[in-house]
Structure 1
Amino acid sequence: MVKHIYRLGIVAVLLGLSACEVTIGSDPQTPPTEDVTTQDPPGNTATRSGASDEGVAEIGTGGGIATSRPPQPQPQAQPQSPPQPIAQTSTSFETRCGWFSNPTPGNISLYDADREWIIGVQGGHQVATDWDWPNFAPDQWVVTNVGSYGYGCACMDVQANPATGTINDIRNVRAQAIAICQQDPALNRWANLFP
C-alpha cells in the first residue's frame, strides 16, 4: 500500500512538472525548446514538441498541452502607385490648320478642330528647333495687344504630343486668309477667342 501511494505521489509530481514545462513553454518570449520526454505511470512515455513556427497547438499524450508562440505578423506589401501615362510623341509630321495665336511674348498656340496645341509658353514648353514664323500679310493678322501680338489663320506640318497637347517640331508653315478659319465649321468652338 505504501508503494502504491509512493507511486501515485511520483506520478503527481511528474504531472505537476509536466504542467510547469507547458506553462513555461507557452511564454511568447521563451525561445522554442527541445523535445521533452516525461514519464507517466510506468510503461507510458509521452513526447511533446517545443514551439513550432506555424503557431499551432499540439496535444501530447502525457496530459499537457504544448503551445507555441503566436505567428509573427507578415510585413504588408506597400501599395503600388498607379502607372503613369507615357507621353507619346508622333514621329511623323502631320498637317494641322487653325487659328495661330501669339497674344503675349513667348506664348504661342495653334487652335485646330481637335484642341489647343501649345507651341510655346513663357517660362515653360517651347519648340526646341528653329522654325519659320508664318508670313502673315497685314489683312491676315488681327492685332489684339500692344505691338503686333494677335492671331491669324495658318497651316503647318508638326510633330505633336497628344498626351501633353504640345507641338515639338514645326516645318512648312503657311499663312492663310482669316476667312478660311472663320468659315471652317470645325473651328466654330473657338469663335469667342477669335471673333
Structure 2
Amino acid sequence: MIRVMKRSLLMLAIISFISVIALPVKATETRCGWLQNPTPKNWYLKDRDGTWTISQQGKSPPKGMDTISISDGKEVVLTNGNHGYNCACLNVVVDSSRMRIITIQGGEALPLSTCREDPNLPKE
C-alpha cells in the first residue's frame, strides 16, 4: 500500500514538473509603428500586424506604462489637444490572441518619416 502511494506521488510530481516546464514563456518583442494616444488613457500601437491595445480608459494599464509618452518624441502629431501620435518602437510582452500589450519594458521615439516610409504600416 505504501509502495503504491509513493509511486502515485512520484508520478504526480513528474506530471506537475512536466506541465510547469511546458508552459509558454512570454518573450519580449520589439514592435514598431504608430504610437497613438487619441484621448486620455487610451493608447494603441499600430504596426504591420494590426492595432495593439496598450491601455483603455477605465481599465488597468500594463506594467511599464509610465515609460512611454508621445510628448517624449521630437516629432508628434497632435490631433486632440495634447493627444495625438508619433512613431516609436516599444519593447513589449504581448497577448497575441487578444492583440494586447501586457508589459512595456522600454522603447524609443522615431522620426515620423520612419513610419511614413514603411510600406508595411498603415498610413496616418
Structure 1: where are the runs of 5+ without partners?
1-87
- Return the TM-score normalized by structure 1: 0.48
Give the RMSD, CA atoms, in angstroms.
Answer: 1.9
Match of 2:29 in 1: 94
- For residues 29-108 of structure 1, what are the structure 2 equivalents within 5 Å? 91-108=26-43
| Cα distance per residue 1:87-117 (max 9 Å; x no partner) | x986110000000000000100000000101
Equivalent in the alignment of 2:98: 164
How many pairs align?
100
- Cα deviation, 1:50-107, whole Å, max 9, x if unaligned, reads xxxxxxxxxxxxxxxxxxxxxxxxxxxxxxxxxxxxxx98611000000000000010
Poorly superposed stretches of 4+, deviation over 2 Å: 128-131
Structure number with higher strand proportion: 2
Identity over aligned pairs, percent: 34
Which has more radius of gyration?
Answer: 1
- Aligned residue among 40, 51, 73 for 1:136: 73
Structure 2 match to 1:150: 84
TM score, norm. by length of structure 2: 0.74
Name stretches of at least 5 consecutive residues in structure 2 with no aligned partner.
Answer: 1-22
CA displacement at 1:154 relative to structure 2: 0.0
Q: Aligned partners of 2:54, 2:24: CA distance in 1, in Å?
A: 14
Q: Structure 1 residues 89 and 127 mapped into 2: Cα distance closer, same or farther (>3 Å)?
A: farther
**8 A contact 2:34–2:45 mirrored in 1:** yes
Mapped to 1, the partners of 2:104 and 2:110 lie a distance apart of 17
Counterpart in the other structure of 2:9? none
Distance 1:149 1:130 in 2: 16
Larger relative CO (CA 8 A, sep 6+): 1 or 2? 2
Residue aligning to 1:44: none
* Richer in helix (by share): 2
